[in-house]
Amino acid sequence: MSVAEVRLKAQPGLIAVPYRRVSAATLAANVVLVLLGCFFLIPMLWMLFASIDSNPDWAIKLPSPTLANFREVLARPETVIAFRSSLILAGTTTVVTTVLAMLAAYPLSRMHIPLKRPFMLGILFAAGLPVSMLIVPVYQLYVTLGWLDSLYTTALFLAATSLPFAIWLMKNFIDAVPIELEQAAAIDGASTPRIVRQVVLPLVVPGLAVTAIYTFINAWGAFVVPFVLMYSPEDQPGPIEIYNFMGSHGLFKFGDLAVFSLLFSIPVIVLYLVMSRYFSGAFNFGGAVRG
């Protein structure tokens, strides 16, 4: 109760009219929401419970809690390798994508390029193309180049597929920076690279962060591309490891699988929380979603 309310209550003669605190509609809405929340929570719960269960099964059950699963998974070298691979893959993709997107988005935003409009629309179009169309010829290409089975070359392709949307995101972020600042810098005699580096870049850092995090989250969970372009079992990134685990029925331990999945998912969840806390406008996709 705020100070004002306390003061008022002390005075005589206040007429308080009882309210139905909560209307039927609001109550129904909240109940439905809780039910829906359960629908979303329950499948996830398996992963949580099975990971700390000493005797897990497919179903959610009350765990006989243990950390043995965690110890086991963390001790295994494959776990570390998988994480390392994913980190390399996602990290390389993110760096390449973000840098190239920034470089490409600046001229698209600021300069008068012929055919800019169709180009931007083409970018949007490209962002929606199914990977399946690209994967076959790229596979062929990689075979010829001998680029198969390498995390770095795979990252290159992932970057290429992430680039259209990243460029679109960055362009919107750069659009939001007032051009007068750059014009002032130009009048002061700064060259274009310097302007970009010292004027635009600092202001666009949130946008860069959003793009980078978005790209990273996508690359971290990437499955198809590494699945096709990498074949040797040593360097497989996380998702492939999990898939392989799933395929070997009965030979694996549910608990370990749950632990590994949980551990693998945590970085992305953390990143998402970071992104939403500090960039609350991010999920307007930079203002892209109009409604």
Partner 1 sequence: MLTQVRFEGVYKLFGAETAVEDLNLTVEAGEFMVLVGPSGCGKTTTLRMLAGLERPSYGRIYIGDKVVNNVSPRFRDIAMVFQSYALYPHMDVYDNLAFGMRARGAARADVDRRVKETAEVLGLGQLLKRRPAELSGGQRQRVALGRALIRQPQVFLMDEPLSNLDAGLRVQMRAELSRLHRRFNVTTLYVTHDQVEAMTMGDRIAVMNGGRLQQVDVPETIYDNPANIFVAGFIGSPRMNFVPGRMVSDGGRPAVRFLDVTLPIHLTAASTHEAPEEVTVGIRPEDLVWRPAAPPSCTVALPAEVDVVEPMGHEAYVTAVCSGQTVISRFPPRSGVRTRERVELALNPERLHLFDARSGESILLRTPAGEATTPPSTREAWTSDAGKTQPESPDQGEAPSVPVNRPKK
Partner 2 sequence: MLAPALALLGMLFIFPVLYSTYLGFTNLELVGSRSHDYSFTGLENVTRMLGDYVFIKSTWLTAVFVLGSAIIGQSVLGMALAMLLRKAVLPIRAVVGSVVIIAWVLPEITVALVWYAFSQAGGTLSLLLRHPDSNYLVLVPMLIVSVANLWRNVAFSMLVFSAGLRNLPTEVLEAAEVEGASAWRRYWLVIVPLLKPTIVTNLLLVTILNLSEFTLIYAMTQGGPGTDTMTLPLYVYQEAFVFNQLGYGTAISLVLVVFGAVFSLLFVRAARTQV
Q: Which residues bind partner 1 (CB under 8 A)?
A: 2-5, 8, 13-17, 19-20
Residue partners of 9: CB distance under 8 A and separation at least 6: 1
Residue 8 lies near partner 2 (rule: CB under 8 A) = no
Binding mask 176-205 for partner 2 (x = CB under 8 A): --------------------x---------
Q: Which stretch binds partner 2 (CB under 8 A): 1-9, 176-184, 204-212, 213-221?
A: 213-221
Instruction: Quote the least distance from Cβ 289 to partner 1, whole Å.
Output: 20
Whether residue 86 contacts residue 238, with contact meaning beta carbons closer than 8 Å, is answered with yes
Beta bridge partner(s), residue 53: 65
Where do we find the tokens 């302007």?
Answer: 195
Residue 264 lies near partner 2 (rule: CB under 8 A) = yes
Task: Rank residues 10 and 25 by Cβ distance to partner 2 and give the closer one.
Answer: 25
Residue 238 lies near partner 2 (rule: CB under 8 A) = yes
Residue of 52, 177, 242, 259 that binds partner 2 (CB under 8 A): 242
Task: Rank residues 28 and 181 by Cβ distance to partner 1 and give the closer one.
Answer: 28
Residue of 8, 36, 74, 181 that binds partner 2 (CB under 8 A): 36
Coil, strand or helix: which one is 130? coil
Task: Rank residues 88 and 134 by Cβ distance to partner 2 and give the closer one.
Answer: 134
233: tokens are 């079992």
What distance separates the 2 farthest-apart alpha carbons in the chain? 90
Residue 212 lies near partner 2 (rule: CB under 8 A) = no
Residue 88 lies near partner 2 (rule: CB under 8 A) = no
Angle of the 77-110 helix axis to the 254-278 helix axis, nearest 10: 30
The residue among 138, 103, 112 whose CA lies nearest residue 225 is 138
Dihedral angle, C-alpha 141, 143, 144, 148, nearest 10 °: 90
